[in-house]
Structure 1
Amino acid sequence: MRLALQARPGVHCETTTLGAMLRHAGADVSEPMLFGLGQGIDFQYWEPPAPGLTPMLTGRTGAGELARNACAALGVELRESQEADQAAAEQRAAELLRAGSVVGVTVDIYYLDYFTSKSHFAAHCIALYGLDDTTAYVVDTEQQGGARELSVESLRLARGSTEGFMPSPNRQLHLGPLPERLTADPEPLLLDRAWGAMRSAARTVLDDRGPRFGIAGLRRAAAEIPGWREALASDVELVPATGRFWRYAGTGGTNFRGLYLDFLREVRSRSGEVRLDPVIGAFEQLRQDWDEVIELLLGYGDAGNSNSNGAADGPRQRQQRLDTVGARLAAIADAEQAAFGRLLDVTTDIAG
């Protein structure tokens, strides 16, 4: 069977999936609003899985936290389950579809028919809205083509994978009934919950949670990146791969700062609150700063190639590029500390 679903692909997988689930249930909430209500902004440093690899550096909270926070803010029950095996997961998904629910599924992108990237990443989310004997009908991000079809076997392998980053085999999500205030007149609810979500997100980023999270995690990455040339000498492509991850891998670009900026702008537009203007200006600069760092990383493999000495100058040029990235990220850490501090002051003043 296949549900009638308005596919609206977004820039990030978890907010795209949650948005599809909510719209089908009767509530149209924008992707930036979901990201903001979900307190999705952060910085996290995940240790390399093996020597000679880069750490996983991500500008958002952990997988699943965003959807839980957003649903709690909206007063919606998020029902999560993890089945024993692929057959049980498929049976449960079919039952939910027959009951009229769009199902959120976590998958390993390696096994998805339409993904060109052939690397294991198991923390990806898609919205399943149809299933028959041979075909699964899903909504993915805009980058991945939005509404897609894939073979049932591909979905089985993708959802059952135990490989890659943060695997959660056979996990799926669906929503309980929506509250009337969310479907009838959501504006007061969205604005009321947005201020508290901003305040909580700012506190989280600024809190001392150890060397892997928030501002401390960003400073750690800034300090370590200049040493990547020596540590990763055998694979020049690992450095630009980090840049591609920040720009293209479901982040909305600029490591989620762009998506959070869109959230701030939406709250400003809905509320007319001028005290947000300096914060928005700070995040506009942060988005530009992140984009410049991404460009430096993307060009790492070509550094020195334009010089007459080519190969001889390559290592020196690459080292200079990594030194520049480290310095830029250290400056971004200072700027983020100031921006989130200002956001905390504004939202505490408004929300109490």
Structure 2
Amino acid sequence: MTQFNHVQTAHCESGVISNIFRHYGLHISEPMAFGIGAGIFFGHLPFVKVNGVPGSTYRIWPGAIFSRVCKRLGVKMQSHKFSSPGKAMQALDDIIEKGIPVGMQSSVYYLPYFPASYRFHFNAHNLVVFGKEGENYLVSDPIMDTVTQIDPESLVQARFAKGFPEPKGKMYYPLSVPKQVDFARPIKEGIQQACYYMLKIPMPHFGVKGIRFLAKRVKDYPAKHGDRRAALYLGNIIRMQEEIGTGGAGFRFMYAAFLQEAGTLLNKEELKSIGGDLTLVGDLWRNFAFAAGRVCKARSADNISYGELSDMLLHIADEEEKVFRRLSKVKF
């Protein structure tokens, strides 16, 4: 059986990166992987429905972090998608038989080791399969505290779940991983890319403009959609923030940790200072989620209105803009 050092992390994609790279001797923390991959982001897409309600995202699209980190660190990866479960499972068996851990995209809904309350239709979850015990597969799922197992039928369902985005049996594994890398250039490129995505995308749905776009829509939810649907829409914003991956606040805290680590590595105190400011923004996101949750459950003793929630989001947008404008001016 392949020995695989499982470490629990906050987010699946950056956690898989950290765990797989460590297996090959390249030690990179989860926040460093997230930062080099420019994972921090925001988007509100009313035309993309998640379970029938508008979707929000607090991180870059699935797969982007992994591909960016590999490119910037010189890691060569092999990736496959499949037309049939039979071919996908045979390919997986062939690779893990060679002692190679395999990353894969899956649906959370079909992972039986998740508690029932966490199993919903989200098809962009990443995990590592690294061996078998009998018929069952050994799984290093970054958000679990220990190694677990999954039966072949459930793994097929998770790998070939329908809905957006379809995993189509996607699996990936390294062909070559350098033992040592110079992190300076990858850090710089990751920061510059994150600043561009947060500040300069011309469309109103993304970056700090996207947070303001959402704020305006939240304010109009009751009048436009009625109280019941307004609560449903608001509830999905919270769910995307707090339950899928690490959520809005969690990603801000992780990127702040990246800036702290990068500041130490590159001897740049300004990066550490900006990381401290972003941690405070993470607190604002958490405060918003708490207030919005009380509104959804009609438990707001202070009678917080949708207008006040909108104002909280506008304040968050202002603070995030300050952080990323300051970060964009750091000299490397």
For residues 251 and 194 of structure 1, the distance between their equivalents in structure 2, rounded to whole angstroms, comes to 22
Kept in 2, the 8 Å contact 1:37–1:197? The answer is yes
Taking a change above 3 Å as real, the CA distance of residues 225 and 160 of structure 1, as seen in their structure-2 partners, is same
Q: Structure 1 vs Structure 2: percent identity of aligned residues?
A: 24
For residues 207 and 252 of structure 2, the distance between their equivalents in structure 1, rounded to whole angstroms, comes to 13
For residues 122 and 273 of structure 1, the distance between their equivalents in structure 2, rounded to whole angstroms, comes to 38
Kept in 1, the 8 Å contact 2:291–2:300? The answer is no
| Offset from partner CA, 1:93-121 (integer Å, 9 cap, x none) | 11111223211111111111022234211
Q: Aligned runs of 1:195-206 on 2, under 5 Å? A: 195-206=188-199
For residues 85 and 46 of structure 2, the distance between their equivalents in structure 1, rounded to whole angstroms, comes to 29
For residues 140 and 233 of structure 2, the distance between their equivalents in structure 1, rounded to whole angstroms, comes to 29
1:244 Cα deviation after fit: 3.6
Matched, 1:242 2:237: yes
Taking a change above 3 Å as real, the CA distance of residues 244 and 198 of structure 1, as seen in their structure-2 partners, is same
For residues 35 and 55 of structure 2, the distance between their equivalents in structure 1, rounded to whole angstroms, comes to 22
Taking a change above 3 Å as real, the CA distance of residues 51 and 254 of structure 1, as seen in their structure-2 partners, is closer
Which residue in the other structure is 2:174 paired with? 175
Runs of 5+ consecutive residues of structure 2 not aligned to the other structure: none
| Offset from partner CA, 1:107-166 (integer Å, 9 cap, x none) | 111111022234211111111112355312112233x44422111111100101122x42
Match of 1:216 among 182, 185, 209: 209
Q: Secondary structure at the match of 1:299?
A: helix
Kept in 1, the 8 Å contact 2:18–2:29? The answer is yes
The amino acid of 2:131's aligned partner reads G
Q: Secondary structure at the match of 1:27?
A: coil
Taking a change above 3 Å as real, the CA distance of residues 9 and 252 of structure 1, as seen in their structure-2 partners, is farther
| Offset from partner CA, 1:222-253 (integer Å, 9 cap, x none) | 11112334526445455334324312322266
Matched, 1:191 2:190: no
For residues 95 and 241 of structure 2, the distance between their equivalents in structure 1, rounded to whole angstroms, comes to 34
Taking a change above 3 Å as real, the CA distance of residues 224 and 250 of structure 1, as seen in their structure-2 partners, is same
1:49 Cα deviation after fit: 5.2
Matched, 1:32 2:36: no
For residues 110 and 329 of structure 2, the distance between their equivalents in structure 1, rounded to whole angstroms, comes to 45
Which residue in the other structure is 2:87 paired with? 88
Which residue in the other structure is 1:160 paired with? 160
1:298 Cα deviation after fit: 2.0
Taking a change above 3 Å as real, the CA distance of residues 304 and 298 of structure 1, as seen in their structure-2 partners, is closer
Runs of 5+ consecutive residues of structure 1 not aligned to the other structure: 308-316
1:75 Cα deviation after fit: 0.6
Which residue in the other structure is 2:294 paired with? 299
| Offset from partner CA, 1:274-319 (integer Å, 9 cap, x none) | 2224422321221111111111122223335769xxxxxxxxx3xx
Match of 2:311 among 310, 324, 327: 327
Q: Secondary structure at the match of 1:166?
A: coil
Which residue in the other structure is 1:77 paired with? 76
1:68 Cα deviation after fit: 0.3
For residues 221 and 84 of structure 2, the distance between their equivalents in structure 1, rounded to whole angstroms, comes to 40
Which residue in the other structure is 1:138 paired with? 139
Q: Secondary structure at the match of 1:58?
A: strand
1:48 Cα deviation after fit: 5.5
Which residue in the other structure is 2:53 paired with? 54
Which residue in the other structure is 1:150 paired with? 150
Kept in 1, the 8 Å contact 2:99–2:131? The answer is no
Taking a change above 3 Å as real, the CA distance of residues 305 and 27 of structure 1, as seen in their structure-2 partners, is closer
For residues 52 and 219 of structure 2, the distance between their equivalents in structure 1, rounded to whole angstroms, comes to 14
Q: Secondary structure at the match of 2:138?
A: strand
1:34 Cα deviation after fit: 0.4
The amino acid of 1:92's aligned partner reads A
Kept in 2, the 8 Å contact 1:240–1:301? The answer is yes
Give the TM-score, by structure 2 length: 0.91
Taking a change above 3 Å as real, the CA distance of residues 204 and 148 of structure 1, as seen in their structure-2 partners, is same
Give the TM-score, by structure 1 length: 0.86
Which residue in the other structure is 1:311 paired with? none
Taking a change above 3 Å as real, the CA distance of residues 13 and 96 of structure 1, as seen in their structure-2 partners, is same
The amino acid of 1:21's aligned partner reads I
Q: Over the residues paired in the alignment, what is the CA RMSD in angstroms?
A: 2.3
Which residue in the other structure is 2:220 paired with? 227
Kept in 2, the 8 Å contact 1:21–1:101? The answer is no
Which residue in the other structure is 1:128 paired with? 129
Which residue in the other structure is 2:278 paired with? 283
Farther-moved stretch of structure 1 (278-287 vs 102-111) = 278-287
Matched, 1:19 2:18: yes
Farther-moved stretch of structure 1 (4-13 vs 74-83) = 74-83
Q: Aligned runs of 1:265-276 on 2, under 5 Å? A: 265-276=260-271
Farther-moved stretch of structure 1 (132-141 vs 44-53) = 44-53
Farther-moved stretch of structure 1 (53-62 vs 150-159) = 53-62
